[in-house]
Structure 1
Amino acid sequence: MAAHDRVIPQVEQEEYDYESLPPNFSLAANMAAGAFAGIAEHSVMYPIDLLKTRMQMVNPTPAAIYTGIGNAITTISRAEGYLSLWRGLSSVIVGAGPAHAVYFATYEAVKQAMGGNASGHHPLAAASSGACATIASDAFMNPFDVVKQRMQVHGSTYRSIVECATTVFRNEGLRAFYVSYPTTLMMTVPYTALQFTAYESLTKVMQRHRRVGYDPLTHCTAGGLAGGVAAAATTPLDVVKTLLQTRGTSSDPEIRHARGLFGAAGIIWRREGARGFFKGTNARIVTSAPSTAICWSAYEVAKAYFIRVQNETT
């Protein structure tokens, strides 16, 4: 039988219809799925992300001691009001939609080019796709992340992201929005590569024991586990990134003039030792695991929807 006459088994056809992108799959639909996933991911777990930022700061002013995630959330909401837990969320919403659209569009394009959608297990394609995706999206998202963290610190008086961005630019220049970008890439490239590899691997294993096609539980579980593992492994670089992105809020001259990865890491090492690089680890895992589960679940829901609609119209 000729190759083009081969009859594709129903199970294989269904797996292709969902797990790989059809040749004519719309880029706009893929980017819309990514934007939806990004906004959903960051919005739901935002209060824990705010707590993580505060826990990671070196010599915060005023000094804050949080004995646990629950205690910290209660303390912040009582002292500053419940809405303070969501301060800076608008920056995430404005930036996360476009950034995640670029993120997942790049991910799918590179994965397809490297043969990651073919049958079988392709960890190298998954890791490479994730690395390329984060390089592209972080270039767009980094300034929004700086604004977010400036608004998250205790005592922030910024009333809007425009006011915060304008003030930072006026006082510190454009460099302030990208001083943490190299550190961010050093964190997010291995984070994303590890996350995507773990996600793809876990999904493949879990789907062997479940029905073929879209399965919300599989993607939610695999995403959560992958996010938690990747978050724990990259926490030290996240602490360095937080110092660089919030340096302008510090009254400490050395912190205010910290330059780059090694300068910030040196400050943390001298003042707090090795343990300083793991501040906020629990909060980061608690944020990343469900956030990644939500992100992948939302993305796969949207992707499955667009593919189904496209198949119905062709």
Structure 2
Amino acid sequence: MMNEDHEYDYESLGANSTMTQNAIAGALAGIGEHCLMFPVDSIKTRIQVGQSLGSMAVSSIDWFRSQHLWRGVYSVVMGAGPAHALHFATYEFCKVRFYRLIQQHGSWTKDENLQQLIATSSAGACATLAHDGMMTPFDVIKQRMQLKDSVYRSVRECARQVYAKEGITAFYISLPTTLSMSIPFQSIQFSTYERCLSLLNPGGIYDPKSHVVAGAVAGIIASSVTTPLDVIKTLLQTRGSSMDPRIRHCSGFWEAGKLIYEHYGYRGFFRGFKPRILTHMPATAISWSVYEYFKWFLSRNN
């Protein structure tokens, strides 16, 4: 059994923070993460569906403007706040309770590192279920608007037209694939982050540098492993905008995987790999840094 001080450290910074404070910190972290990295995410989406990025010979500022890489960002703002609030609040709630259950009933292992790994991975999976159920429709709208030839001028117009043409199914057809990607992604991310943090910051004090490094490492590892699933998810979420009738009528995970293989071979499952890494490495670092800061800030007077 761990001593009281160790258990307090494990429960993470701001152990005195309430569920509401965790939710507020999570909402701010989600909005910050997605908005700051949105242009790179737009590039990744276009690469995954096979769209050309055009010439980059002009200045970076002019190129970013001409590519409309911020189109769809309001969908992220609308969805990321509540979805990430639910995400982090669920994670903090489940992490502590799973760890206590493992301590009480996990006679099969006395390894504290393994107990922590199982607790954080399981909590990450639960948090993902809550997050993706809320966020997936907003993500569909976001990716439709990120496409280079997108005709949608607003989030509302995009949602209305997608619903009129494809029905409510269009907003959730990628959910099984999203969950099959997000659950391992978040489980790997949370467990990697907690493990790195325990090595970089064993004292459990507020240390922004350790949050940035641990978040970046967690983002690299988790996004690398799950890139093939992300390619499939993007195809399903943007299928209605495709000129290929087979893609436009693609009905699910296995058919999408088959189409990608037929078009591009095994390499097709790693389309957008570099921008995905370049998105998630800083995004995860930003997310955890913002989350831990606001959790510490909100709870420091408790």
**Correspondence for 1:49:** 41
Q: What does residue 175 of structure 1 align with?
A: 169
CA distance in 2, matches of 1:13, 1:178: 40
- Partner residue of 2:83 out of 78, 87, 99: 99
1:186 corresponds to which residue?
180
TM-score by length of 1: 0.86
Aligned residue number for residue 68 of structure 2: 84
Question: How far apart are the structure 1 equivalents of 2:8 and 2:133?
Answer: 36
Asked if the contact 1:18/1:304 (under 8 Å) is kept, the reply is no
Question: Of 245, 250, 264, which aligns to 1:253?
Answer: 245
Counterparts of 2:27 and 2:276, CA distance in 1: 22
Q: What is the DSSP-based 3-state SS (H/G/I as helix, E as strand, rest coil) of the residue aligned with 2:216?
A: helix
1:235 aligns with 2:227: yes
**C-alpha separation between the residues in 2 aligned to 1:88 and 1:73?**
24
Task: Return the alpha-carbon distance in structure 1 between the equivalents of residues 61 and 154 of structure 2.
Answer: 20
Partners of 2:57 and 2:179 lie apart in 1 by: 29
Mapping for residues 220-299 of structure 1, pairs under 5 Å: 220-299=212-291
Is 1:150 aligned to 2:150, yes or no? no
Q: Which has the larger radius of gyration?
A: 1
What SS does structure 2 have at the residue aligned with 1:114?
A: helix
Partners of 1:55 and 1:66 within 8 A in 2: no
Secondary structure at the counterpart of residue 137 of structure 1: helix
Give the distance between the partners of 1:252 and 1:16, measured in 2 at CA.
51
Count residues in correspondence: 290
Counterpart contact for 1:226–1:289, Cα < 8 Å = yes
Query: 1:218 aligns to what?
Result: 210
Moved more, 115-124 or 270-279: 115-124
Runs of 5+ unmatched residues, structure 1: 1-5
- The structural deviation recorded for 1:156 is 1.1
**Residues 129-148 of structure 1: CA deviation (Å, up to 9, x unaligned):** 11110111100000000000
Contact persistence 1:66–1:72 (CA under 8 A): no
Asked whether the 8 Å contact 2:80–2:135 carries over to 1, the reply is: yes
Of the candidates 114, 122, 138, which is equivalent to residue 128 of structure 1?
122
| 1:269 maps to amino acid | Y
CA distance 1:156–1:197, change in 2 (3 Å): same
Could you tell me how far 1:15 is from its partner in structure 2?
3.9
Post-superposition Cα deviations, 1:278-301, rounded to whole Å, max 9, x if no partner, equal 000000000000000000000000
Indicate conservation of the 8 Å contact 2:14/2:299, yes or no: no
Return closer, same or farther for 1:129/1:155 CA change in 2, 3 Å cut-off: same
Distance in structure 2 (CA, Å) of the matches to 1:73 and 1:217: 35
- In structure 2, the partner of 1:166 is 160
- Distance apart, 1:27 and its partner CA: 1.8
Find the aligned partners of 2:70 and 2:291 in 1 and give their Cα distance: 23
Q: What 5-or-longer segments of structure 2 have no aligned partner?
A: 104-110
Q: TM-score, normalised by structure 2?
A: 0.89
Q: Which residue of 2 aligns with 1:3?
A: none
